[in-house]
Structures are given as C-alpha cells and as structure tokens.
Amino acid sequence: MINFLDLQKINNQYQKELKEACGRVIDSGWYIMGNELEAFEREFAEYCGVKHVIGVANGLDALILVIRAWKELGKLKAGDEVIVPANTYIASVLAITENDLTPVFVEPNPTTYNLCPTNVRAAITEKTKAILPVHLYGLISPMLELMDIAKEHALLVLEDCAQAHGANIDGKKVGNWGDAAGFSFYPGKNLGALGDAGAITTNNDELAQTVKALRNYGSHKKYENLYQGINSRLDEIQAAMLRVKLGYLDQETARRREIANCYRSGITNPLIQLPEWNDDSNHVFHLFVIQTPKRDELQQYLGDNGIQTVIHYPIPPHKQPAYAQWNQQLLPVTEKIHQQVLSLPIDPTMTAQQVDKVITVINQYCS
Ligand SMILES: *Cc1c(COP(=O)(O)O)cnc(C)c1O
C-alpha cells in the first residue's frame, strides 16, 4: 500500500532529536509559555522573514484571533464583509463567522484553485473590510495583485497559510504579504507538530501585542485583563517538536517539489487534469491535486491498486449544513472543483519506485 501521508515514517526520521527535545522540556519543569515557545517564535519569524510570530493552540485560533484583535483595535466590526475563496477549507470561513463578520464567497481561478483578482474586485461593496486569501494546496495566491486591490480599497489582508509554509514569490514568503497571517502546525501540515499548534505572523507591533494578550485570557500583565480573551497557547512540548521539524522543512519541501515534477512530467493520461504552477518556489505541494470527471471511480481504481488518495474537499463551506443560510448560493466553479478533485500521495518519504508506481497505475486507467 502506498499511503497518502505516512506521519510515522516522517517523524521517525527525526526520532532521536524529537526525543531529546521532549526530554529537555520534561526536565525543565516549565511547560507553558517558556523558552521553547520564545525560541520557536524567533526561529519561525526568521524563517518567514516577519517581525512577529505569536504561537497559539491551532490554525483556526490563529485566524480567529487576528480578526478578534482587529475588532478590539476598532479596525473591524460585526457585520463587516470579508472576501474569501469559496473552495477553501471550512476553518477560513469559521474564523469569519466566529467573529460575527460576513464571509463573501468568491469563485477561485479554476486552474490554480486560489483567489482570482478579477472576481475579488467584482465582489467589493461598501461593507467590504478585508480579504482572506488562502494559499490552497501549498500554492501562494496572486499576492501582488491582491495587495494592490487591498491598498486601493483600504482593505485588511489576512493570509491563511495553513497549507503553504515557505511558499514564496521572488523570495518573499507567505505570512509576510498581508497585514497578518494564520499558520497551522497540525501534524499533517508541511510543518507539523506532534499534536495541535498554530501561529500568527505580522509586521504590525500593535496587532502583535493585542493577539499576545488575547491568546492568554486577554492579559498583558499577570492577573490584569484588558480584553475578554481566550486560552489558546502553544505549549512548550509542541514548540520544542516544531523547532526540530523546522530544521528539516526546506529539505522536505524540496522532496515534495521533486515528486510533483515527476507527476507533472510522468502523468500523461488525457482523463487527468494536472495542477498548474509556474515557478517551483511558488508552490510547496502540501497536496498534489488532480481533477477528473469520474473522480470516485478513479479513487476506487487507485485504492484497488494499492494507492491511497484523499478528497480535499468533498463539500464546499457554503453547502455545509452548518451554513444553511448559504446553501442556495450558486458557485458552479467551486462546486465542480469539489466534485472532481482528488489528492495523490505526496509524502516526502515516498521512494522513487512508489512515485513511479503511482504514475504507471494512473496512466493505465481508462474509464
Ligand atoms: C488545516 C487548516 C486550517 C486550520 O488549522 P488547524 O490547526 O487544524 O486548526 C485552516 N485553514 C486551512 C486552509 C487549513 O488547511
């Protein structure tokens, strides 16, 4: 069986260092908001090229807390509209609705799956206050164009970087384009902890101070509460795990890019639509997503041939029962994507033989 993602194998490579780091935390006697978190925040800030990193409990909280902070700072209020790609993972939308703002679903570019600047422009109203670009599947959004639009209309930009650690345009990485960004370090992400974890990046001092307070009960100073905050901290053990894994991120990304390029040149079956990207540095291949009209049939065939695949995602946010008020919205580009996409195994530990097997089996598929 070729696994979609073999986390055991990935983390096994670093077992010795991970266990040492874990031991260091156990021995320290200090488990929340200590040296490991501070060091990881510093190291990840350097990696992203940003001024501030604030560790939080998970990626959803990272997005929620940025919007919440902008509300506390008077930059956003309930009812404001936030433009978001309609085909995103539900977390991007939950961050908006959790704060009582209104998501405005915009159809993505059907070949890149990311926000389309033309559609963004068309969706702007006098209530629009922010854009939430999602660097979906690991491909950076068209940030030059989106930042121009944001500047023109005085909109805040919150990047959802959960799938795109390290993706960049001419060296400027995700998390360093917008006013702020949310990252996830869920175990299956490109930079994965051994549990839940997330972070906010920003170059804005005031925002950084506010989210730092909000993640810790709204407190800047022990037992003094400026805001009605929450408890969303990145604990020392996970920060220590992430420091080890960050050291291998670029190496793993390079392997993902190699596999993606093998798929791109090797898969020639006309029933399969391959993903499109220009420069390898734009993409970190969190997922390698193909499209085919009879997707479920292909998934069954691949499974029968020992290849595990996953659908990202079967139901778009506006079709979810949780968002019944938007179930009737017509978003045909998004709906077609959700019916046709299939994610192939792309795991940095895959062998050349495994990659070749995936290519051969797909090329032999006929509907
Ligand atoms: C994983 C993910 C999140 C949420 O991250 P968690 O750490 O699971 O809360 C947000 N947005 C996108 C696009 C994601 O893929």
pLDDT at residue number 143: 98
Please tell me the distance from the alpha carbon of residue 246 to that of residue 190, in angstroms, as a whole number: 10
Question: What is the pLDDT averaged over residues 98-113?
Answer: 97
Please check the confidence at residue 222 and state whether its pLDDT lies above 90.
no
Question: What is the pLDDT averaged over residues 213-228?
Answer: 94
CA–centroid distance, 33 to ligand 1, in Å, is 22
Index of the ligand 1 atom closest to the CA of residue 58: 7
In tens, the pLDDT along 347-361 reads 999 999 999 999 999
In tens, the pLDDT along 198-217 reads 999 999 999 999 999 999 99
DSSP structural state of residue 33: S
Query: Could you give the angle at which helices 295-304 and 352-363 cross, rounded to 10 degrees?
Result: 130
Q: Across the chain, how many H-helices and E-strands are there?
A: 13, 13
CA–centroid distance, 27 to ligand 1, in Å, is 31
DSSP structural state of residue 93: H
Question: What is the pLDDT averaged over residues 1-29?
Answer: 97
Distance of CA 334 to the CA centre of its chain: 18
Residue nearest to ligand 1 atom 2, measured at CA? 162
Residue nearest to ligand 1 atom 1, measured at CA? 162
CA–centroid distance, 121 to ligand 1, in Å, is 26
- Helix spans in 135-247 (H): 143-153, 205-214, 236-246
From the number of C-beta atoms within 10 Å of its C-beta (0-12, 13-18, 19+), residue 157 rates as: buried
In tens, the pLDDT along 26-68 reads 999 999 999 999 999 999 999 999 999 999 999 999 999 999 9
Question: What is the pLDDT averaged over residues 232-243?
Answer: 98
Do 162 and 189 contact (CB within 8 A), yes or no? yes
Question: What is the pLDDT averaged over residues 98-104?
Answer: 98
CA–centroid distance, 158 to ligand 1, in Å, is 14
Index of the ligand 1 atom closest to the CA of residue 184: 7
Alpha-carbon Rg of the chain, whole angstroms?
21
pTM equals 0.98
Q: Which of 5, 60, 87 to mutate to test the pocket of ligand 1 (most atoms within 8 A of CB)?
A: 60
Long-range contacts of residues 314-322, Cβ cutoff 8 Å, at least 24 apart: 314/338, 316/86, 316/87, 317/86, 317/88, 317/90, 317/92, 317/93, 317/103, 317/105, 318/86, 318/105, 320/90, 322/90
Do 193 and 245 contact (CB within 8 A), yes or no? yes
Q: What is the mean pLDDT of the chain?
A: 98
Please tell me the distance from the alpha carbon of residue 54 to that of residue 203, in angstroms, as a whole number: 11
In tens, the pLDDT along 127-166 reads 999 999 999 999 999 999 999 999 999 999 999 999 999 9
Task: Report percent pLDDT > 70 for the chain.
Answer: 100
CA–centroid distance, 198 to ligand 1, in Å, is 9
Q: Which residues' Cβ are closer than 6 Å to ligand 1?
A: 58-60, 88-89, 91-92, 134, 160, 162-163, 184, 186, 196, 198
Q: Which of 87, 163, 233, 285 to mutate to test the pocket of ligand 1 (most atoms within 8 A of CB)?
A: 163
Note the residue count of the chain: 367
Kindly list the distances between the CA atom of residue 271 and the CA atoms of 16, 67, 143, 345, in Å, as whole numbers in the listed order. Answer: 44, 42, 32, 18
Do 157 and 130 contact (CB within 8 A), yes or no? yes
pLDDT at residue number 367: 78
Residue nearest to ligand 1 atom 14, measured at CA? 162
CA–centroid distance, 91 to ligand 1, in Å, is 6
Index of the ligand 1 atom closest to the CA of residue 197: 7
CA–centroid distance, 357 to ligand 1, in Å, is 30
In tens, the pLDDT along 81-90 reads 999 999 999 9
CA–centroid distance, 322 to ligand 1, in Å, is 17
Q: Which of 114, 134, 186, 230 to mutate to test the pocket of ligand 1 (most atoms within 8 A of CB)?
A: 186
CA–centroid distance, 184 to ligand 1, in Å, is 5
pLDDT at residue number 361: 98
Question: What is the pLDDT averaged over residues 315-333?
Answer: 98
Helix (H, G, I), strand (E, B) or coil at 147: helix
